[in-house]
Amino acid sequence: MEGVKIKEIEDFKKQLSFSLKEKEIIERLSIPYDIFLPLIFSIKFGGDWSLKFNSTNVMAIKEKITSYDEEKAVGYTLENIFLFNNPIMKDQEGTVYRLEKCGNKKEREIVKRPYQVKVDAEFILKASLNPMTKKISLKKVKGPFVFTGANAYGVSHEMEHLLGDEIKGESFFEFEYELDD
């Protein structure tokens, strides 16, 4: 029992230290804390996130890149998270039909998303998370960025949230089972 409490205290100390370092980074970047929130959510909980407050729109889009050394039989997945402050959709191409679930909706829906998007913003921050080195590298970058596939769908989805559009699609129950012989 005593060992469990010590571990909980140590875990709490790590969380507190991590949060203090986040605060220092935000101050060094000279940006409001709210702008950093979608990045924090993406880092801690995974996925893409967006936030709208006052006249500011912010979104974080995560891409994954896996490196694998076949000789050593070991690898890692680098996560690059792009934080866009007041993003602007510059262009989109193609149509992909896919299933998505969002927020409080009970089931997934069939939605249409662009296959490729070009997005820019007033301010863009790239965070690279390397699970092997346990480092989060931050860098201010310039756009525009072109995303394809899953990342393009994420941009489209989050932009709908920021524009106040309800994500609408066809009911999942439009599907029909069929048995292949």
End-to-end CA, the chain: 57
Q: Which of 92, 81, 74, 3 is nearest to 49 (CA)?
A: 81
What pLDDT does 131 receive? Answer: 95
Amino acid found at 172 = F
Q: Which helix (H) or strand (E) holds 41?
A: helix 33-45
CA distances from 168 to 17, 63, 108, 145 (A): 41, 24, 10, 26
Distance CA 107, CA 100 (A): 8
CATH code of the domain made up of 31-167: 3.90.45
Q: What is the pLDDT along the chain (181 residues), one digit of tens a residue?
A: 576 788 888 888 889 988 899 899 999 998 888 899 999 999 999 999 999 988 899 999 999 999 999 999 999 999 999 999 999 999 999 999 999 988 777 889 999 999 999 999 999 999 999 999 999 999 999 999 999 999 999 999 999 999 987 778 888 888 999 999 8
